[in-house]
Amino acid sequence: MTSPETLPAAPETLLAALTPLLAAESRAEAAAAGVEPGDLEQAVWLRLLERLSADDAPERPADWLRRAVRAEARRARRTSGRERPYHDGETRPETYGPGPEGSALTAERRRVLRAAVTRTPGRCPRLLNAMLDPEDPTYREIAGTLGISQGSLGPMRSRCLGCLRRMLAAEVPASGRRGRVRGTDR
């Protein structure tokens, strides 16, 4: 068996020999980077295959692989610091789960959304209702229904969604208790 430091140059043999090392290095770095070990492995394999296809194979593959795993982990940490999934602090409808409680909460969210849509100004209620249609009409169909050009549909949609967003944000109560709680005041 060859050591990882003196690996053969054939790509298939190289990949087979580096697999255990890459798995171990990825498991070691993944937790600190906040990513899955498999994601790190995949990114490093991709970088290695790109180098091999460019006839730029690393001289010391094991050392290169260790550096590449650390570099990918650093990149993942930087990326996760800038990217945030959308979550407004309350339970998302997809996490309600099956059952009567989940159905009731989902129905309530839909009711609040539909009520807010009806309060939007101008042509926004018609546009937003068309966009919420379960048949999922195309922009061309929505523009035809509303009697406007397809090119003005995007800007109008942006304005209407902005208005709807502001309306819904104003209706969401701030987290935590506000005011005094009855029965504890003296």
Using only C-alpha atoms, the chain has a radius of gyration, in whole angstroms, of 27
Reply yes or no on whether the pLDDT at 141 is more than 60: yes
Closest to 93 measured CA to CA, from 110, 114, 115, 116 = 110
Higher pLDDT: 97 or 49? It is: 49
Q: Which residues contact 52 (CB under 8 A, 6 or more apart)?
A: 11, 14
Which tens digits make up the pLDDT trace of 65-98?
Answer: 899 999 998 888 887 766 665 555 554 545 556 6
Q: Report the C-alpha gap between 134 and 14 in whole angstroms.
A: 52
Q: Report the C-alpha gap between 9 and 68 in whole angstroms.
A: 18
Q: What is the pLDDT of residue 93?
A: 45
Q: Are residues 150 and 139 in contact, defined by beta-carbon separation less than 8 angstroms? A: yes
Place of tokens 């990949």: 15
* Model-wide pTM > 0.75: no
User: What's the full length of the chain, in residues?
Assistant: 186
Lowest mean pLDDT among 47-56, 81-90, 101-110: 81-90
Q: pLDDT category, 168, cuts 50, 70, 90?
A: confident
Tell me the average pLDDT across 154-174: 80
